[in-house]
Structure 1
Amino acid sequence: NDCPSTVARLLDMGIPSFLVSSSLLLIVAQRLARRVCKDCREPYEADEDSLVPYGHLPQGLGSCTFYRGKGCATCNFTGMRSRVAIYEVMPVSPEIRDLILRNAPSSEIREVAESQGMKTLRQAGLLKVIDGTTTVEEVLRVTLA
């Protein structure tokens, strides 16, 4: 359930494509991922390119410091504490409106949205890995299709 598939869900509910097309301004999809516990997190070095197979678009950062939780009393020895939201935001542009009117498949809508700058849920999650908020494993867990 990502932004492009929201259009298909609305159409499957029987809403005419001309209404969906003219009514939508923006679609937001979200997931909650667990945060690395700040009390027991441990740094480790990894190359930003190690995230590319998971859909990350390299930003030229090279070596990065990622974090994982060791486990402590604060987090009940899980290494994770509280949650952070990961968002996918898709503005409905005129091109996407045309695709909706033509009943284009979600994959085509996704392709156009990404070409217009939309970050997928996974890409947004991997940015949270780079800033030390969560782990690669957690992002993969919450964004599996």
Structure 2
Amino acid sequence: TSLQVVLAQRLVRVICESCATDYPLKPTEQEWLRFELGDTVSDHHYLHGRGCAQCNGTGYRGRTGVYEMLEMTEQVAHAANHHEPANFTRVAQAQMAGETLRRHAVALVVAGRTTVLEAMRISNQFES
């Protein structure tokens, strides 16, 4: 096959560094993060932007990409070419080894670059 890689991309808003402050997670956000972080959710420090003149009161300033990549191996190509959606999904997930948009977004949350709400937004877009 001539297709080598499938790349999915979403953009998340970046927390404004001028007004970033601690953010106590809501129960729904803790539950959502627990899927990726397990019991270590409370071990991390979470931020959000209060809003300031630098970000026009939004709490965000700029955007950054969230990515996932699927390499088209022989197994993936075979599953795609034989019109077996369930098998393709299984093979593709195994090939990606969990490196999903969601996981990348959570890494940005843990790094203090974006908010849990932004990560949830792009994850729910993709999973719908």
TM, length-normalised to structure 1: 0.72
Structure 2 stretches lacking a partner, 5+ long: none
Secondary structure of the corresponding residue to residue 23 of structure 1: coil
Q: How many residues align?
A: 120
Aligned CA RMSD, in angstroms, stands at 2.3
Q: 1:36 aligns with which of 15, 19, 24?
A: 15
TM, length-normalised to structure 2: 0.80
Q: 1:73 to 1:123 in 2, by over 3 A?
A: same
Q: In 2, distance between residues paired with 1:140 and 1:44?
A: 15
Structure 1 stretches of 4+ moved >6 Å:
none
Partner of 1:96: 76
1:45–1:64 contact (8 Å) kept in structure 2: no
After TM superposition, the structure 1 = structure 2 runs for residues 23-102 of structure 1, keeping only pairs within 5 Å, are: 23-44=2-23, 50=31, 51-53=33-35, 56=36, 58=38, 63-102=43-82
Q: In 2, distance between residues paired with 1:120 and 1:142?
A: 11
Q: 2:104 aligns with which of 97, 119, 124?
A: 124
* Matched AA of 1:115: A
* Matched AA of 1:26: V
Structure 1 stretches lacking a partner, 5+ long: 1-21
